[in-house]
Amino acid sequence: MTEASPPKPLTGHARIQSYLRTLDTSPGVYRMLDAESRVLYVGKARNLRARVSNYARLGQHSGRIDRMIRETHLMMFLTTRTETEALLLEQNLIKQLKPKYNVLLRDDKSFPNILVSKTHAFPQIKKHRGAKKEKGDYYGPFASAGAVNRTLNQLQKVFLLRNCTDAMFESRTRPCLLYQIKRCSAPCVGYISAEDYAATVNDAAQFLQGRTTHIQETLAGQMSAASDAMEFERAAALRDRIKALTQVQTAQGINPRGVAEADVIALHLDEGQACVQVFFIRANQNWGNHDYYPRVGQDVDASEAMQAFVGQFYSDREPPRMLLLSHGLDDPDLVAAALAEKAGRKVEIIVPQRGEKAELVSGAQRNARESLARRLSESATQGKLLRGLAEVFELDAPPRRIEVYDNSHIMGTDAVGAMIVAGAEGFEKSQYRKFNIRGTEITPGDDFGMMKEVLTRRFSRLLKEDPDREGTAWPDLLLIDGGAGQVSAVQQILEDLGVEDVPMVGVAKGVDRDAGKEEFHRTGKRPMALRHNDPILYFVQRLRDEAHRFAIGTHRAKRAKSVGATPLDDVPGVGATRKRALLAHFGSAKAVARANLADLKAVDGISESIAQSLYDFFHDKG
């Protein structure tokens, strides 16, 4: 009698159908997983049972959803109190898990703000990015660092506010260059009173809130009064500030008059690709724009793509009071409720049809259309270059992921390794990695030793995380800065790790180290060169130069950090604020180390327990 084989596990429609008897009508979030428990899709539902039963029906889905259903081996569910909670949880999970079949927002950088600090009698104005932990007034977001820098430049011209650090401010004995070129009022040396400086800070705040007319009237009145009092030097200075403000207003002629605060979001779809342009309108001023290229499929419609983008974009950002959209959302009331809950106030979502708002959206959509056309053109060019690279270096197929490695150090100090990544969409900067060289046995300046450490760490991690090479993190081509010796050494490193099938090319500088005379080295093959005007040569040079730029930048950042490091960095409980207080009080880290317990306790912000920790830290070291 033969033993019956165990039944095959349910998959696809049948597997989804099996969940229906255990689900109720609660709102919630569901996850669909494949045979390897990888998340395929995250969705939310007002009624989980009804939503899942829709997937269990045959023949009613697009090609993308049908493929997802066939791959589903498991589902996970989480109920929520409201559909709004489900929507917020869905967007957080999508950003965290990056499922294969969801529309994904891939570029998720934070945006800079302008901060007017409130920790000093003479507030500093500066660019700020990240969590808003420092006390002060924040204005933004701005679309880019360039947009912030231009606005800061305008503010310096008109309001003469300082941008130096508090430490620099306290150390000044005479005005800096910014005072000489009329960009600062020199509060550091008492050239302006605290009251007058506070008034200019208030004017700058009004400017950032869009109230420029009142400022200009006030300045004009002050100039007239100074002239009547025959204070001609003061009148001239005020005249220059009015002139600078007028130039700012002229340059900002494209700003909307009827829209005080809004994000303008426009979408364009073409050939299964998408571009979303976001314009930031704050205080009736256009504070720049940024483009995004979310991952969509051929059968994703505009409303689905727009709703996915809006949900993910504001999952960790504060929304403005108004969103102006080029396309409607699947659930506009639900999204508005979720954004209002997040912001703690009403958020209006509008798809304008006429007037100034419609013109703003039309302009953003034109930018989205043109940006996507350029990207598709660049992708076609990139694809041609990758095919040419495969032909030149005799690869089996055009590489989908190229990794380029370089090292940087000065006489072996502050050594770092760098890896950049390029593929079908150009440089993939989110995939760049830096490696602080840790090996104590490496001789200073030993590039072979540094490369061995970098590649050993990189490929050891790959082998651990994806031994079957099913993901996209494995490279199809390695580019190494160096000649035959470097290639041979790297080949041995990879063989020792059991990685013998990743193509590798060494790029040597060639005769006289001239660009254009590079030689290419491969294991077991004669060195080769490309003709001087070959596009593939330019492509490889660009890859190598980007790796060198990233390595140099990483090394400089590490060196700057080490130059500014002090023994105080290693003391438990002493952060940046206490470190500044100690250095301001004692003058140097060495003086802190020599201080007695009573002197340490006398420093503002240093409690008895911290003072004891400091004293013990330095004196235990002997």
Give residue for tokens 């090292």: 407
pLDDT of 204 reads: 83
Task: Report d(CA 551, CA 557) in Å as an integer.
Answer: 10
pTM for this one?
0.68
pLDDT of 83 reads: 92
| 293: number of Cβ within 10 Å | 16
pLDDT of 5 reads: 53
CB 151 within 8 A of CB 141: no
Task: Report d(CA 324, CA 137) in Å as an integer.
Answer: 26
Across-strand partners of 13? none
pLDDT of 410 reads: 58
Low-confidence spans in the chain with pLDDT less than 50: 1-2, 250-253, 621-622
Could you tell me which of 103, 99, 98, 108 has the C-alpha nearest to residue 430?
108
What domains, with CATH codes, occur in the chain?
12-97 (3.40.1440.10), 113-251 (no CATH), 261-374 (3.30.420.10), 401-561 (3.30.420.340), 567-620 (1.10.150.20)
pLDDT of 440 reads: 63
pLDDT of 520 reads: 93
| 498: number of Cβ within 10 Å | 9
Retrieve residue 199's tokens.
């008034």
Could you tell me which of 133, 130, 132, 134 has the C-alpha nearest to residue 120?
134
pLDDT of 31 reads: 95
Retrieve residue 121's tokens.
């009698």
Cα–Cα separations (whole angstroms), residue 393 to 389, 506, 509, 576: 6, 11, 18, 51
pLDDT of 63 reads: 84
Rounded to a whole number of angstroms, the distance between the first and last alpha carbons of the chain is 82
Task: Report d(CA 448, CA 321) in Å as an integer.
Answer: 56
Retrieve residue 580's tokens.
């500044």
pLDDT of 35 reads: 87
Give residue for tokens 């045979």: 35
pLDDT of 217 reads: 74
The DSSP letter of residue 516 is T
pLDDT of 76 reads: 94
Helix (H, G, I), strand (E, B) or coil at 86: helix
Task: Report d(CA 510, CA 483) in Å as an integer.
Answer: 9
pLDDT of 52 reads: 93
pLDDT of 302-352, one tens digit each?
Answer: 999 999 999 999 988 889 999 999 999 989 999 999 999 988 999 999 999
